[in-house]
Amino acid sequence: MSRARGAAVTCAVLSLLAGCARNPAPQQPAPAAAVQARGDSAATGGRQQGPRPYRRVVTGSAITSTGLVTVHRVDDKLLFEIPRPVFGRDMVLLRRLAAGRGSSASAYVRFEREGNRVLLRQLDYDVTADSAAAIARGVQRLRFGPIIASMDVAAWGPDSAAVVDATKLFTTNIREMAAVESPNAERSFVRYAFATPTSIEVDAVQTGNAPRPSGPFAPAPQPGDDRRPETVSADVHWSFRVLPENPMMPRLWDARVGYLSIATFDYSRPEHRAEQRRYIRRFRLEKQNPSAAVSDPVEKIVFWIDPATPEWLQPWVKRGIEDWIPAYEGAGFSNAIEGRVAPTEEEDSLFSIYSANTSVVYWRPSEVQNATGGQVVDPRTGQILKAEVNMYHNVMNLLRNWYFTQVGPLDPQAQSLPLPDSLMGELVRYVVAHEVGHAIGFPHNMKASSMYPTDSIRSESFLRRMGGHVATLMDYSRFNYVAQPEDNIPPELLVPGIGPYDRFAVMWGHTPIPGARTPDDERPTLDRWARMQDTIPWFRFSTVDAPNDPGNITEAVGDADAVRASELGLRNLRRVVDMLLDVAEQPGRDYALLNELYSNAITQWGRYNGHVAAIVAGAETQERYGTGRRFDPVPRERQREAMRFLAANAFRVPDWFVNDEILFRIEAEGHVDRIRQAQAGVLGTLLNEFRIRRLAEYEALLPPGRAYTVGDMMEDLRAGVWGELSERRVDIDVYRRNLQRAHIEALRNLLTPPEQPRNAALFGPQRPRYPSDTRAAARGELVTLRQQANAALSRAANNMTRLHLRDVVMEIDRILDARQ
């Protein structure tokens, strides 16, 4: 739970909550109760003389909870009494951090019996086969997983139930069970445990060393760093949930419709190869009334709202969860999803938001400006067993910055800060709904923001009819910066909501298909539904293997025409900058807010330029299954238009950004470099090895005159960055000098790229090892620039321009000479 339970709870208290028994007769299991335990004196993995009589192990002082297994507390010991039917049952094991510092994890496991020992074995679901097929024997050998723990049978209970001391599973250094490094058994103890009909729930304090950073961003260990690890304690909750005894029929994944999935190689398929089968991740919904067009489900999706959520935000979190109700109605399910505030520990001591039985929206007191969503699934079918959303408290700061920077001029509520609670509640609701989308099985669909005509999303009637300015809540299409003040768009239509793509995707994934007995039986119907995308563009999903679709980008609104959308966005951004002093200057407060908002405005300018730069070497895409072309290069003139936009808006600094009344309030220096970094980002987008290779490839494939070529881009870029060189009087200001240096640096990197970091492969495709047109184009461009800079020296309007041009010539000479 979000608050720690006391370690000492008397039996009398337990009996009031859920029933408590001492020394239950083996034939009469006691009612469920929380089991409290401390210490870890039981032996796990060591040998003993053999099982003892049941009543000498489960003594008269035992406090017992019954369910999937029977859980006993006997003094300092935590005992599991595992009945025969539980052995061999596959389970999901969750480890979730409830308090302190540590790590969370999940795995699939089962209890196995080996003589007088009980093994906890980890399972692998990467491969599978029909149990009736001969190859299933070989597949079973491949799935022979590691033994996490071995526990001696302390006693045999009724019907050969095995009683084991499980204390050390949770208090000692078993890697798969430990939330901290090297747990110390003397300072670790089980706090409570109980059983439910489908799970075992255990909560313990582990004390050990702080977990070492891991992953691609983790720093490498430094030689000679012999500092002692930091000691930490963590309150950890483990949940063993048995997988459904009657598995749900899975639904096959389809690249045309966005669903998260599970994958396995099924070796019993009839194809002459090992076929990977992918199933979508979804909740199990079954109609109470199967004959009704729309029916309540037998079991609805319930998201429990963390009771640590600020009280004033709890109703908004609930609305964000339940925004998905209409989408499920399209699949035939009414009231399919609900948000409920979870009980506090005082209200229900046996309820845990960390259990594998509960889907939860957690509220994290954290400075992280983010939110996440995910799920734990049955690996056999993709059925979601537990969905999880993490809302980090400081996401509200991120929301304020986005809303003010993108649509501040369109909503009077955003023209003074702080934002009203009612507006912030709506923004939190939007993020919750997005993250719940991930938790119920949906990935991002960044293509959705390019499915509506750009000018249409300035129309109130269109926005009301479509449910917002983007076809799905699962895009990173934040707030409608394309709309203008004169459009009079109501504030509620500036925020995304559930869109037609969301309803389509839920329908595709959840609508029952009568008569289908296997996933393959469903294929014809699912294919027919997916092909609705051919005539309804806003039903389309991102093409997974398309790295250059200019409509499949993040943080964009109306990018069906990114040039037009960015022009309109810049109009609003200028209004934002004009508002900054009135909004962010507050007597008695420092200028941190002004600095933050101005920096966000610069970032937003870079985003608009990046959306347009993505058009160059782009290809429009639609995922298809055997019905035609999937990729169509962007027409030449549209790419030229994008380069003209960049020359006017990215490579020329807007004068409204150069506001000394703002700048001399927030910094003594740094503005010029801030602009340089934003412009260098656009140059890096254009002068990219893979973009240049695509231009060359499309030139080879398209009819003569149809392609926008490498030479076209280099020429247009040179004109946009170095236009002063052709003027009679060459006067280059500091912003343009920095831009031109950045251009030369980008060309140099094309000839000899910077050293790749050790983990570079984690971040996408790597630069090819063999030469391409890129090297020739970069070298040729440097030669041309050297000639033009030399010729312009005699026309320099001032000494700084002259020095800059000389430096340019010398730097190009140095780059080219080093590569002779």
Same domain, 155 and 26: yes
65 and 193 in a single domain? The answer is yes
User: Is 743 a domain residue?
Assistant: yes
- Mark whether 729 and 693 lie in a shared domain: no
3-class secondary-structure state, position 344:
coil
Distance CA 716, CA 700 (A): 20
Q: Write out the E strands in 615-659.
A: 619-621, 631-633
Task: Say how many domains are in the chain.
Answer: 3
Overall average pLDDT of the 106-132 stretch: 93
**Residue 687 domain-assigned?**
yes
Q: How confident is the model at residue 279 (pLDDT cuts 50, 70, 90)?
A: very high
Mean pLDDT of 487-491: 98
In the chain, what percentage of residues exceed pLDDT 70? 90
Q: Which residues pair with 110 in a beta bridge?
A: 121
pLDDT value at 313 more than 90: yes
- 604 in a structural domain: yes
**In this predicted structure, what is the pLDDT of residue 227?**
65
- Mapping DSSP to helix (H, G, I), strand (E, B) and coil, where does residue 412 land? helix
pLDDT at 30 over 90: no
pLDDT exceeds cutoff 50 at 31: no
> Tokens in use for 228?
């002692």
Q: Are 710 and 699 in contact (CB under 8 A)?
A: yes
| Residue 205 forms part of a structural domain | yes
Q: How large is the average pLDDT for residues 29-47? A: 42
> Hey, how many other C-beta atoms are within 10 angstroms of the C-beta on 66?
21
pLDDT classification of 273: cutoffs 50, 70, 90: confident
Would you say 375 and 281 are in contact if contact means Cβ atoms under 8 Å apart?
A: yes
Token pair in block for residue 79: 């005992």
Distance between CA atoms of 643 and 649, rounded to whole angstroms? Answer: 10
pLDDT at 3: 34
What is the pLDDT at residue 318?
98
Angle, helices 592-613 vs 671-686, to 10°: value is 20
pLDDT band (50, 70, 90) for residue 627: very high
Is there a single domain that holds both residue 666 and residue 802? no
Instruction: Tell me if 345 sits within 8 A of 99, measured CB to CB.
Output: no
Q: What mean pLDDT comes out for the span 219-225? A: 61
Encode pLDDT of 664-677 as tens digits: 999 999 999 999 99
Residue 751 lies in a domain: yes
What pLDDT does 228 receive? 74
- Tell me how far apart the terminal alpha carbons of the chain are, to the nearest angstrom: 67
Examine the domain organization and report whether 203 and 58 are in the same domain: yes
The answer to whether residues 647 and 746 belong to one domain is no
Q: 607: pLDDT confidence band, cut at 50, 70 and 90?
A: very high
Q: Is residue 137 part of a domain?
A: yes
Look up residue 113 and give its two tokens.
């019996």
- Work out the pLDDT band at 764, boundaries 50, 70, 90: low
**What distance in Å separates the CA atoms of residue 751 and residue 819, rounded to the nearest whole number?**
8
Mean pLDDT on 519-541:
98
pLDDT for the residue 40? 37
- Using alpha carbons, select from 550, 555, 559, 661 the residue that is nearest to residue 604: 555
Three-state SS across 71-88?
Answer: EEEECCEEEEEECHHHCC
Between CA 303 and CA 306 the distance in angstroms is 9
Q: Mean pLDDT in the chain?
A: 90
Whether residue 359 has pLDDT greater than 80: yes
The reported pLDDT for the residue numbered 754 is: 62
For residue 261, pLDDT over 70 is answered with yes
Residue 356: pLDDT over 70: yes
pLDDT of residue 2: 36
Whether 160 shows a pLDDT value over 60: the answer reads yes
pLDDT band at 136 (very low <50, low <70, confident <90, very high): confident
What's the gap between Cα 718 and its chain centre?
Answer: 38
pLDDT at 466 over 60: yes
The model's confidence at residue 17, banded by pLDDT at 50, 70 and 90, is very low
Q: Which residue has the tokens 């194809």?
A: 271
| CA 89/CA 110 separation, integer angstroms | 6
Residues 54 and 159 in one domain: yes
Using 50, 70 and 90 to split pLDDT, how confident is the model at 144?
Answer: confident
Higher per-residue pLDDT: 504 or 229: 504
- Alpha-carbon separation of residue 697 from 227, 622, 700, 707 (angstroms): 54, 20, 5, 10
Cβ distance 232 to 206 under 8 Å?
no
**How much is the pLDDT for 772?**
74
Q: Which residues pair with 714 in a beta bridge?
A: none
pLDDT for position 132: 87
- Please confirm whether the linkage preceding 31 is cis (ω < 30° from 0): no
**Do 700 and 734 belong together in one domain?**
no
Distance from C-alpha of 390 to C-alpha of 372, rounded to nearest angstrom: 5
At residue 271, does pLDDT exceed 90?
A: no
Residue 29 has pLDDT above 50, yes or no: no
Please say whether the beta carbons of 550 and 556 come within 8 A.
no
Asked if 693 and 805 sit in the same domain, the reply is: no
189, 37 contact by CB (below 8 A): yes
3-class state of residue 397 by DSSP = helix
Residue 393 placed within a domain: no
Asked if 812 and 666 sit in the same domain, the reply is no
Question: Mean pLDDT over residues 347-365, rounded?
Answer: 95
> What pLDDT, on the 0 to 100 scale, is given for residue 275?
84
Q: Is 660 exposed, middle or buried (0-12, 13-18, 19+ CB in 10 A)?
A: exposed
More confident residue, 658 or 139: 658
Asked whether residue 683 falls in the same domain as residue 734, the answer is no
746 and 606, same structural domain? no
Question: pLDDT value at position 27?
Answer: 37
278/820: higher pLDDT: 278
Would the CA dihedral through 767, 772, 777, 779 be positive or negative? positive
The answer to whether residue 328 sits within a structural domain is: no
Q: What mean pLDDT is predicted for residues 172-187?
A: 92
Q: Which domain holds residue 640?
A: 568-705
Q: What pLDDT sits at residue 610?
A: 97
